[in-house]
Structure formats: structure tokens, C-alpha cells
Chains A and B, each alone.
Chain A
């Protein structure tokens, strides 16, 4: 039997970050991971999808290079090589975490853990079963792709994001079920690589929950890529016919049949809180099977913590990491708290969407008198020089104090601008603070400064009456 200070179940961006921080606090840590270090994020999520999106962007740029003055012949795609390149990136990252674990003397067990008691795990691995007794445990088991009835991955046609990032060839036709961020990121990347993509979305809009002003810009690019978007449409069933998948969809009672080479099911994610024997030790879950935690990431059972996707929305890698840091500090006896005012979120569609803080509607709902400023990328020298002028930066401020409440952006590269916005909110900056901060020229960061100026009607590069 092993006896450790802290046992962590799951080595994703929540679990591995918590493990390293606990090691820094001189705690004796064991991490139990059932698959690969790095979790969904590094292995089959954030990182491989970004690599594939990058590949798709390069392909797109080669096609549009003629506009600048290049003579481009036909561009071939070697999917196998692209996949190898992507796997290489994943290996480097996961290998890096493995090395950090070694350097910190963190014990990594590849296996499945379940709770035997409130202070002991039963770990099943290739080497058999062993007991791991702990003082504290962190559940960081993440989430899995949700499946809808009738569309269970079967190995050939139907798959989730995992399969969608590993197709051995570019599907001629791709049917994406779900118009949320995963469906649109992957759908849009294959559309960029030449697939004929159809998106089937059950609600009335793409990216439900995202400011329609932002979604509109992405929808325009999807149209340019000839992506067919079916709103208010439900996927009913599918069958194989003549080497293709035939999908039956229903739009407001009217049925329609689509054909496709692949079906990508991207209808959300569900927490991995089964098969841990949580019920046996009495860890409470909410109605959606997320583990209930307080703002110190404590579950209802003393000494047991939960972080990341399995502990509730939003399901974001960086939220998991932050919670991992807080849980580690709490375990180490610090008076830490999950005290986050600005949780940024990025959607890696083309163009990208990035948000942090409150949008205009949310701010009004919270009772603020709101002022906004909006600056379009078409007025940015850097955006023009890069040939990517779609989108804008919008800033929402409290009219009374001028304090920045939120920023919403859509455009190429906005994922790299949102960090400044998050810092502004955490620091309680005013829009004038942001306007008065010198931003380097020519960069996209200037658009934040200009958006702040537009709040006061004093932008330089657009005319305001």
C-alpha cells in the first residue's frame, strides 16, 4: 500500500498543474492517469485542434497568395504527414510534462482509480491492483464528448472531436452535428481544407450563448467557405448507403436527408464522474453530474477536492489549471480562494472569437449603466497589412466609474489579445487607463486602445460624431 499526502486522479491541465504546485509545496504526490498525461487538452483537444486549424489556415493562405502576387500551382495535401506532424507536437508537450513530473518526483501511475474509502483509492493498472492511501485527494477526471441517441461512434462514419482531428483523409463531405464551438472549429477547419461541410444545429443560432454580434462575423466566413448551416434542425438517425452515410434530419417537423463521408458529433461534453465510486463515499453531484464544490474546490467530503471539467462549467482548460492551483494551495494550508473576476474564453473558429467579463446584455442585466466602444479591424494598419480585416473589438464599461466590465472580440488573432483584457478587469482598470496606455504600432493590440477611446468618442482612426 502506498501512503501519500495527495492523490490526484487525472493528469489533464487541472491535475498536472495541481500536482506540480503541490510538489512545490513539498507535498508527496501521486497522479493516477488512465490514458495519457496532458488529458483531453493536450492529446485530443485544444492542442491537436489548434495544430489542425493552423494547417488549414496555411492551406487557405496558399490559395489566397495569388491576391498578393504569388503564382501558386495546385497545392497537394498529405494527410498522413499532417497527422504525424500534429502527433509530434502532442508528444513534445506531453513528454515535457512527463519530465516535469520526474523533476518534481511526482509519482505517475497509469491506471484507473476508484475510491475504496474516504482516505483510500483502489488503482487498477497493468501491474495489477494497488491501494493508495492519501490525506487529500483531487478529482480531476475531466469530461468526455456527449453522445446523442442513434449517433454512437462506430469506427467508420460517426465520430466525436477525437476522431474528427484524426481523419486519415480529408472528407469530401462532412456533416457536423452541433453548431457549438467544437463543431464550428473542426467544421471550419475542414471547410478550409476543401470539405463540403454541413452544420446541423438544434437551436436557432450558431454558438448558442455567444453575443450574436460576434457570431455574425464567423457566420459570414462560414458562408464564404460554402458551409451549409441548418438551424432549428435535429439529427434523427443515419444509415450507410453506397459507401456514404445518409443522415436523416428534421427541421421544424420537416424531414430532410443529407449524405456525408463523415459524421462529427459535437453536441457538448459531459463530466467524467462515473466509475469512481463517488456515491460510495458520499461525494455529492449536481443535477448534471458535476461534482459540487465550494470556492476552495472542496467537495462535501472533507479532504476531497474536485477541479476542472468534472467540477462544473465553464469547461475550459485554463479554468481547470487555475482551480488546480487554488486546490493545491488550500491543501497546503494557505488561505486561498477561487477568486476570478475575469475568465477569458476563446473560440478558434475563422476568425477567432475571444471574450472576457460581461457583455453588454449581461452588464445591463446586472444593473450597470453601460457605455460601449467598438473598433473595427478594418481600421487597423496591422490587420490590413495581414489581409485579415474581418471583425472588431468591443469594450463594455460601467458608465458611472468607467471601469472595464468586459471585452468581446472577433477577428484573426484575437486569442492573443484577450489576455490584456483579462488583466485590465482583474486590476480594475478603467477604459481611460487602457486608452492612456501606449500600445505598439503596428499591432492588433492597438485596437484595444482604440476601442477604449471610442467609449469616450475620441478614437483617432475612426470618425465619431
Chain B
């Protein structure tokens, strides 16, 4: 039987093959995990629908497989059909390995000939990728279908002009000037690379910086910690900053928005899902605190701990990585003066947090030492202007500096 990439749920259309967990010729049993796949959101292992022998692996590690694409040929054993269907809907994650839909064999759609304006090579290229040229729109003269039309269709499953992050031409190899090591760009690293380029190419980045005085908040948190610690909650500054940010977002609503390029509309969001960047061994991921505006400080602290623990243990659920409206990234734990983060597109803005340092500042014409943090915001100038971002940040800082109004 041909084993196809199952429906991964959540509208996920494709995933990268991170690792095959079985080899060609290996005997496998029903539910044995066959392959590790990374989607836009998470990594998951996919179980076998049948007993049998892996005859042939058709998609190599590092390649992108689409839902429905034949991944491997399994010899022997028909797939159970209906029983998979009734399994309860759970989110796929490293721990929960359920697949929602049936994985029974369906006949591979036979390629068919077309009248599309494309050369013999392009026609074969499309067949190799299981693409029907009749549905690909060509970007060449008279609608001629080019190599990049097919490649971008293969990548996106739809036609249209190239999107940010997609390259027209195959890049030429880098020259070498000495001994080197080459590591495949795959998995999370590749996702980050693609996502960052997409952001850079789409949004009109600019960065604004200001200073926040944390002196009061430090004292305030010290008191609150005494309440939090006995009940097992690790309380950082982050819940307070999130609270302040939400106050700012509610006042400057275009900071909590996206630009929908397909309709040329600014989508202002009436929900507040705050992403918090977490460094993991594989790379940076951004778990999302849902409805952060409806949570109190302790609740936020608990959710931050849960999400960052899950992320570091690679057990994060797909659902926890989706739907962010504004992102925080904390560079301060390592050091540095200030950074200009890249927007977590399609969000409009990202806030960079830095180290709180005792700093000489002027208050009432006298130099005093205060606990100061540099805060940067990178924003999409297509949606917001500098004055708005400056006012937003000022608003946030004002709340940070008057913590009693946050709790």
C-alpha cells in the first residue's frame, strides 16, 4: 500500500520530514511511529496505520511533504479503515500522538496530460510533484507556466505572485575559503529562517527605544513573591510587563493588529494573545498566552511557566503556538544594551526587553541611581507610525512605573 501523509488537523497542509524512525526493509507494526514531522507549529511523530514491511521511503529527510502525498510504500497488511475515524480529537504533539483521520490507502491520482502552456520539462516537473498544471496559473507571457510557478505552487498549494521568503531563482553555492562544516538547514532552524525572511520582506520594519524605571516594580514584585512562592508560583517581571502591554494595546489598538495583504485591510484584534519567545535547544519558539487580558498576575505567571517548560521539553502543543497578536522577547537575561527584534509577522509589533541595570539618571535636577531597563519596539510602518509607537511605549512604561495600578 502507499502510505500517505495523513491529515494533521488544524488546517496544516504540509510538514517537513525531520527524521524517519524506520528504515527500508524494516518490519513495522500497527501504531509504531514511522516518521517525525515538523509543521508550521510543532513537531509530531506519525504512527503506522498497519502492520507490514517498509518497502520504500519516498520522501527524504529535510524535504517538505504535503498532506495526501505518498510518503512510503508499505508491503502487506491492509490499513484499518473506519476505526481511526472515531478517535477523539486531540492535538497532535510529541506526547499525544493521535492522528485524527483515516489513513487507509486511496488510489494515487494518475497524472493526466494537459494543454497548459508549459514545456515538456515543466510538465514532467509538475507530474513528479503530483501537481495538475490546469490549476497552476502561469506568470510568463500568455500565462506560460515557468519553473518557479510550479515550485511555488508545490510549496504553497496555490498560485500567485511570489510571497516574501520565496526565491525566484535557485541561489548559487557559496564559495569556500577554508575548512568548513556543513549542517543541513532543517527542522525548526529552517522554519525560523523562512519565517524571519517572510517578516523582513513583508513588513516595513522600524525600531523605537525608550527607558523604563523598574525601581518601584522591583519592590512591588518582592512583596508579591512572598505570596506566590508558598503556592508554587514562580513570579518574574513578565506578568507585570504583559499587564502593562495590554493596557497600552487597548489604548493604541492598531498595535494589536495585522495587515491582510489579500484584502488590503488592517485587521484590528479584539483579543489579546501575547507571545513570549522561548529559547530551546533547537531554536527559538513563541508559545502564546491566550486571552492574556483576562488573567491576573498569578495566572499569567503560571501560564508562562507551563508554556516555557513545555517548549523546552519539546512537548508544546500546536494550539499553544498559534494565534498570537503581540510578542515579547527577552534579551535581558543574557545582557546587551539594546536590540532591534524582527517582528513576528503577521503581527504588527514586537517588544524587546533588556537587562534591568542600576543607572544614574536625572530626577528633579539631581543625579540619582534608578533600576532602568531599555525597551525596544520593532513595528510595521505600513500599519503604525513612529508617534503612535512612541506613545504606546510611553503608556506601557507609565504603567510599569506605577505597578500598583497593574494588579
Contact = CB atoms under 8 A, between A and B. Distances in A.
B118 A428 contact: yes
Contacts of A426: 119-120
Interface in B195-213: none
B110 A428 contact: no
Interface in B55-95: 56
A426 B142 CA distance: 16
Contacts of B191: none
A295 B113 CA distance: 9
Chain A interface main SS type: loop
Nearest to A337: B111
Given A295-B113, A335-B111, A339-B113, A427 B130 contact: no
A427 B112 contact: no
A296 interface: yes
B120 A339 contact: yes
Interface residues of A, number: 15
B291 interface: no
B117 interface: yes
B123 interface: yes
B305 interface: no
B169 interface: no
B113 A337 contact: yes
B70 to A, nearest CB: 10
B144 interface: yes
B312 interface: no
Interface string B336-350: 000000000000000
A5 to B, nearest CB: 14
Contact of B112 (A333, A336, A337, A428): A337
A334 interface: yes
A335 B119 contact: no
A448 B127 CA distance: 32
B180 interface: no
Contacts of B118: 428
Among A294, A295, A333, A335, find the residue whose CB has the most chain B CB atoms closer than 10 A: A335
Given A427-B119, A428-B118, A428-B119, A336 B113 contact: no
B404 interface: no
Given A427-B119, A428-B144, A334 B113 contact: no
Given A295-B113, A334-B128, A339 B144 contact: no
Nearest to A401: B142
A285 B69 CA distance: 34
Contacts of A427: 119-120
Interface string B269-293: 0000000000000000000000000
Interface of A: 294-296, 333-339, 401, 403, 426-428
Interface of B: 56, 110-113, 117-120, 123-124, 127-128, 130, 142, 144
- Across chains A and B, which 5 residue pairs bring their CB atoms closest together, nearest first? A335-B127, A339-B113, A428-B117, A337-B111, A427-B119
15 contacts: A295-B112, A333-B56, A335-B111, A335-B127, A335-B128, A336-B111, A336-B124, A336-B127, A337-B127, A339-B124, A339-B127, A403-B142, A427-B119, A428-B118, A428-B119
Given A335-B111, A338-B113, 6 more contacts: A294-B110, A296-B110, A335-B128, A337-B112, A339-B124, A339-B127
